[in-house]
Each structure stands twice: as structure tokens, then as C-alpha cells.
Structure 1
Amino acid sequence: MMKRIRVIIASASMLLLVLGIVGCTKVEYTQIEEPAYLRVFNNLNYVQTLDSKDDKVPFFCMLINPVVGVDGTLSEAEIVGDFLDKRDAYAPPYPSHIGSNNSVNNPEYPGKNNVLVGPILNGFDLSSWAQVPSGKLRVVFAYRPKNTIPFFQLEPHLRKDILIDTVINLDGREVYTLHLLQTDFVTKEHGVLLRQENFHKLSLSDSLVYVNFYNMSAKGFWQADATLKDDDYKLASFKSGIKDDMNVFLSLYEDQSKPSHIGATVPGFKGKYMTSVKRNTNLATVSPYVSFPLWAGSTADGIMTPMWQRFDFFVPGMDMTNNPFYAGEKNTGGNWAAVNCLQNGKVAVTSGDNGTLLPNLLVNIHSGKDNPKTFATVNTLEVVNGRIYLTTIQRKYAPPIY
């Protein structure tokens, strides 16, 4: 029986050109007329505790317009996103997973799948979005064993265990991001959230970096006992989650080449209020983008800047001036969490800092005669049950001149 999931879509409009990416081997593609563009993230994480030892591992096959037998066995589908694992902390501005042979596990869709993808639109690279048919689509997320056997080669009894079975409606030539989420931490309810993106339609400056924020954590997560949450030290102050209403503050630091210490802040950008964020797993409205100058740092020369960013999430009434927590404290009761965005997201600032790590929002790359050159980006930071994820979208840049 189809499980009813409420899916709400934020409206937007745009024109896209169809572009296919061809891999190293010959792939026969089916032309899609009036496609929509879809990217899918599995936001479900699991923690091994005595209370959760019998929970199913959230490892899925995503199927669009599947065929289901009378006995409930899934036998084929129009589009298959197999081996869908939990998402990576960083979704870079290019399809980095294609060609990876280390594992069949896929941190997103399309990810490693060799499929028709989106074009360059208004200067934005949409090659991390897959082309899918527009219109009404049936979407199924089916549990699968964590092995390397393709879904439709599994034994029939292993092709019946469905978590989500729902219908979404996609407009042609529009850009969507689909999130698989836990909606209630206590009851373990799940759902999907389909967001219709609008970054490609906005009038954005090349000299500003843009970012928006979401808290898609499950109801009751931050209130839950710490023993029920992931004890990964890399989560730092996000481990306990954040409260349902938070304010976000930005600090810009001058030089990411010296990560052993916090360093000097850019004048005017120490604990600057940016926006507020509310917990939400139902409404798919696009959050407004806020921005900061690409060339704010004192060493910026219009070509390259080593600047990096820190975002502090504070409960309303608290900010940088009255923060009662000390550096390095991880259990803040959901009142404070911080993320440092520098280098490749794997270099700590200090051993006592409480910020989790993500890559720099700025992209430094060889372009034209400059190596490197710094480019502004459009970014999304999403908090989900004690983790924070970064998605970066890059604009078109001139190819290197050697």
C-alpha cells in the first residue's frame, strides 16, 4: 500500500538547455523531452546503541516510476538510483563522484550514475543534477542490503522492503533538490522534502558570496538524551543538535593558510548577524540568500584571496558578546554550534575550538593565466540531526591557459 507523504514545493521558473555528459565508455542515453532537473540526498544517519541495534541500516535504492508485482516485488523502474548511502558532509560544485571505483555506494543521486545531466545555466554549473521526466512521478525508496549486488539482481524477497512510496510533481525545465529525512526523532517517522531551487534566476553579483540556511532536523532531536546521538568527535558542537529557532552570525578570517590559530578577522566581520533559521521538515520554501564580499580581506588583490568563514548558530538572545560556553565545549544543549569553513574541511583551527569543519565557501582554481584565481559561489548550509552539510554551486569560469 502506498504510504502517504506530504510533499510541498516552492514555486520558481526558468529556461534550461539539454546537455549530456559522456563518460569514458560509450553510453546509450534516452533523450528526455521537456526534462526536469533533480538531485537527491539521503539525510538519514544511524547510531549503533542498545536501543537502535535492531533498526534497519538506511541504505537504499531509489526508483522512479517502478513496476511492482502483485506480491509487492519491485521488478524494474524508469530511473534507478541504486546503492544510495548517507550523504557526504560536502557536496562540491562539480560531479566529483563520477569515475570513482573505490565503492559502489553513492552519497547522492545522480552522483556516480552516468546519466544525462543539467546544463550551464546563467553561468551556473548544473552537472550535479540529473535529467528526469517532468510531470507526476512515483518515487520509491526501498531498503537494500549493504552489498555490491545491483538491486534488481537481488532475491525477490529483498526487493519488497519499502520505506517511502510517494508521488511528486516536477515542472519541465526546473531545478529540484529532493531530501529523504527523518521527521520525528521519537516516533522514527520519515518523509521527503522537495525543494524547487531559484538561485539560477536571481540577479547575483560576481563579487559577492551567497549562502542560505536550513534546519531540517527531526522533531525532538535536540531534546533527546546524548546517548541516542552520534558520538563522532568531528561533529563538535553540532553533536547535540540546535534548537528550533536560531540566529546565524558570520566571522570572516583573513588567512586560511595558517589554520593552527583563529587569526585576525576582517574588519566589520566579527560575529556579524546574517539571518535566522527555523527547524522545518515540511515546507519546501527556498530560504533567502545572504551574502558577504568576495574581496573583503586585507590581502585580497582582485585575483586571489585566502579568506575563510566561520558561522556561529546562537539561540535568540545570545551572541558573540554574551556566549556563556567555553571554547572546546561540545554539549551546549542546542544553544550554540559553530562551523569553520576553510581549506578542504579537514584541517582543524585549534584543538580547543568547538567548530566542526567544512570546506571554504570560496573556490580557488586555475583560470586563464591566473593560478589560482578565487571565485564567488552560491552555497547552502543544512543542519540535520547533529550534522551540518554544505552544498556549493559554482559559476562558469575561464579555462586555464598553460
Structure 2
Amino acid sequence: MKQEYKNKIHFLGGLIALVCILAAGCRKTDFPDVSSPAYLRVFNCLTYNVTIDNKDAPQPFLTMLIDPVLDASGMPVNADVTFDFMTTRGPLARPYPDAGNTALWQKEFPGTAKIPVGPIVNGYDLSGYGMVKSGSHRFMFISRPRSNDPFYSLPASARKGILVDTTVNLEQGEIYTMNILEKSVYTRKTGLYLRKEIFTKIPLSDSLVYTNFYNLSSEGYAQTFVFDDNSKNTCIRDTMNIFYTLYAKDRQKIKGYTNAFMTGVTRSQEPVVHPYSNFPLFPDSTANHIYAGTSGQMFNILSPGTPPDQGEQSDDSKGNYTSFALGPEAPAAVFNLGGDVRTGMVISVYSGVYNPRSFATVNTVEYVNGNMYITTLQRRYDPPVYK
């Protein structure tokens, strides 16, 4: 009887141990709790190349500290949030974090770091935005060596390159885009640009694709740009007009959407939201209004007075023309930004009983010192229904 009792105890003990092991193996990563959050996305837009002429300039490779802790000498030794290995942003910022990406270097905050991200807000997926406690925060951006060594393990001499040290207020429930920019080519001073977004607060139709545009280049960038064979049509003037053409299958231009005027854009680093322009989710009258079909979008950016079809013929316009394109059916542009592999600015995914189904997006295009970037936001959509 005693032996049977012991066997039962051993069995139960082993079972409990097994359950504990399995529970530990399946446990989700613990993220820090963020109460009363604001939602923040941060990009490093510093792109200058370090050459013999500016060899003493700080590397555009950053560590972001939120509410840093400094030692007696003023050296950062800790922070409420430390976001390390921040390289220059990529051309396309997707609506959601790339969960499969294990790269150490980050192209944006929150990136793939263990940062809690935003929920669905008014129908928009904010999983590309990090949650940060609302209120006043000290932000510090520090230039660091390009290596895989964590910031706090670097020697003190490598942790002194403070580019930005400022305090900002993040309001509860608000959505922010933060860019680290060069303010002026004449001073080479780095600055923080913080824009409070409004796309969750304004009536945007789910049958239209929205885009707004910014030229966030440095003061004097266009005036001092040196044109050469390696930079054809990558520089634009401070004031430009934007035209667009929509393409269907086999690169057929869609009637009524060829070289259509969209908006104008003027260089400014004032952090105000620019108006949204739009085009239909289903501009092709032959589409079934479920899937937009393979498609693409082409945008020509031209100086005022330049005909919308003239820029494409220019080998080097000296600042009067550039272009960007998304989607497989768009022709090659100066900047090819990718987007959805089937529909470019439109997101097409398996949703409900439809595979694929197309959804409109809200996009922000930012031109910064010879580079074109796009950030895409998606609306919430129903998960797949498998038959």
C-alpha cells in the first residue's frame, strides 16, 4: 500500500513538473505594462555619407533614449526606454511590424524590439506604433559606432555623441510620427520633428486610397545640391506639383487617371499634418469590387509649369522632376518603393471567404534629402474563413 502511494506521488510530481516545463515553454514574452499610452513611430532620416571632407561628422547610426538616467559626469547609464542600433529608415514602412525579422539593426521604432505596440483605434491597425507612457519625456538621440555592441557596453568615449536632447509632451491616446532630421545644410544641426497625426479623427472613406506628401529636406538642400551621374533626378526644388497615373493589368493606363493632378508640396519642417489627396480603391470599371487586380501607381513630381508628361523624358532635370512608383504594373520610376506585391498602395489579403480581397490604405510620403519614403496604414479587416 505504501509503495503504491509512493508511486502515485512520484507520478503526480512528474506530471506537475512536465506541466510546468510546457507552461514555461509556451509562455508569451512579457512586455512592460504601459498605462495611459500615446502611440509613437520614430524614423532616423539622417542619410549623409561620411567622407574625407566630413570625417569628423557623427555617424548617422543612433541610440534613442527616453528619460535617460545620467551619472555624475552626465554620461547615460540607463533609460526608461533604450532603443539601440537605429539605422537609417527604409523606403517602405509597412502597416505592421515584421515579426519574422530577427535583425539586430532597426530601421524604425518600435521595429522588432520587445516594445508593446498599439491596438486597433477607430478601425486602424496601430501595430506599427510603439506604446509610450503619455506625459512629458526627455528624448536623447546619440550617435554611436556601427557595431553589434550594445550601447551601454561601449566605452565612455563612444557614448558622448549627443545629437538631440530635448523634452516633448505626448498626449494620452494621440498618435505621433517622429523623424530625426538634418535641419540645415549650412549648420549641419540635427533636430527632432514630431507630428501629431489625425487620420483616426477625420472621416476617411474606405473606398478611397489616401496619401499626403511632405518635403522634409534640410534648409538649402536643393540650392547646394551637386548634380552628377549618380544622382540623376533625385533632387527636387523646394516647391513642386504632383501628378499620378494608375495602371491595371499589363501596364494598361486606367482611363481618367492618367497624369492627373494630385497636389502641390513645399519644403517645410513645420510639424503640421498636410491635407490628404485620394484616388478610388477600384478605379477600373471592369473590377469586381472585391479584388483590385494586379495594378500599380506612378507619381510624377514636377516643378510648377512643367507638363506632367515631360518629366519622364528627362535624363537629368536638374531638380525639376522626380518620380516614385508602387505595385507590379507600374513602370520603373526614379524611386521604386514596392508596396503590396499585387496591388501597390492597395493591400490585398485573404479576408473572410475572399482570397484575395483588396482594402484601401492611408499613406504618408516623405521626401528627405534625395530619398523617398512611404508609410502605409491599413484598416482592420476580417480574418480568413477557411472552407
TM-score tier by shorter-chain length is 0.7 to 0.9
Counterpart-to-counterpart distance in 2, 1:294 and 1:135:
38
Distance 1:292 1:68, change over 3 A: same
Question: Residue 81 of structure 1 corresponds to which residue in structure 2?
Answer: 83
Residue equivalent to 1:280: 268
1:130 to partner: Cα distance: 0.8
Matched residue, 1:175: 175
Q: CA deviation at 1:25?
A: 6.2
Q: State the partner residue of 1:231.
A: 230
- Indicate the residue corresponding to 2:290 in structure 1: 303
Determine the C-alpha separation between the residues in 2 that align with 1:366 and 1:222. 44
2 CA distance for matches of 1:196 and 1:108? 17
Q: Shift of the alpha carbon at 1:293? A: 0.5
Larger radius of gyration: 2
Identify the match of residue 237 of structure 2 among 237, 240, 243.
Answer: 243
With 387-396 and 244-253 compared, the bigger mean Cα shift is at: 244-253
Contact 1:339 / 1:358 at 8 angstroms: preserved in 2? no
Q: Does structure 1 residue 100 correspond to structure 2 residue 101?
A: yes
For 1:3-402, list aligned pairs within 5 A.
Answer: 26-96=28-98, 98-101=99-102, 103-226=103-226, 231=230, 237=233, 239=234, 241-255=235-249, 258=250, 263-281=251-269, 283-305=270-292, 306-320=294-308, 323=310, 325=311, 327=313, 329=315, 331-343=316-328, 349=331, 354=334, 356-359=336-339, 360-402=344-386
Alpha-carbon offset, residue 126 of structure 1: 0.2
Q: Contact (CA 8 Å) 1:39, 1:178: kept in 2 or not?
A: yes
Amino acid at match of 2:320: N
- Cα deviation, residue 355, structure 1: 5.2
Report Cα offsets for 1:330-372 as digits up to 9, x if no partner.
x3221111111113xxx9835xx54544421111111112111
What amino acid is aligned across from residue 33 of structure 1 in structure 2?
S
1:381 to partner: Cα distance: 0.5
Question: Structure 1 regions of 5+ residues with no counterpart?
Answer: 1-22
Checking the alignment, whether the CA contact within 8 Å between 2:296 and 2:327 is kept in structure 1 is: yes
Residues 276/179 of structure 1: CA separation in 2 closer, same or farther (3 Å cut): same
Return the alpha-carbon distance in structure 1 between the equivalents of residues 244 and 182 of structure 2: 28
Give the Cα separation in 1 of the matches to 2:288 and 2:264: 32
Indicate if the aligned counterparts of 2:301 and 2:323 stay in contact, CA closer than 8 A: yes
Find the aligned partners of 1:354 and 1:91 in 2 and give their Cα distance: 18
Q: Is contact 1:72-1:160 (8 Å) kept? A: no
Identity across matched positions, percent: 40
Give how far 1:142 is off. 0.8
Q: In 1, Cα distance between the equivalents of 2:322 and 2:244?
A: 12
Q: For the Cα contact (< 8 Å) 2:94–2:376, is it kept in 1?
A: yes
- Relative to structure 1, the CA distance from residue 400 to residue 26 in structure 2 (aligned partners, 3 Å threshold; closer, same or farther) is closer
Q: Assess if the C-alpha contact under 8 Å between 2:241 and 2:264 holds in 1.
A: yes
8 Å CA contact retained: 1:208, 1:293: yes
CA contact (8 A) 2:135 2:170 kept: yes
Inter-partner Cα distance in structure 2 for 1:108 and 1:274: 28
- Segments of structure 2 that go 5 or more residues without pairing to the other structure are 1-24
> Could you tell me how far apart the structure 2 residues matched to 1:90 and 1:29 are?
26
Q: Which amino acid is the alignment partner of residue 280 of structure 2? A: P
Specify whether residues 355 and 72 from structure 1 end up closer, same or farther in structure 2 by C-alpha distance, changes over 3 A only: closer
Question: Deviation string for 1:131-159 (max 9, x for gaps)?
Answer: 11111110000111111121112223322
The residue matched to 1:206 in structure 2 has which SS?
coil
- Cα deviation for residue 274 of structure 1 reads 1.1
Question: Contact 2:40–2:130 (CA<8 Å) still a contact in 1?
Answer: yes
Residues paired across the two proteins, number: 357
Q: CA deviation at 1:380?
A: 0.5
| TM-score, length of structure 2 as denominator length | 0.87
TM-score by length of 1: 0.84
Q: Which amino acid aligns with 2:145?
A: P
The whole-number CA distance in structure 1 between the counterparts of 2:191 and 2:334 is: 31
Higher relative contact order (CA 8 A, sep 6+): 1
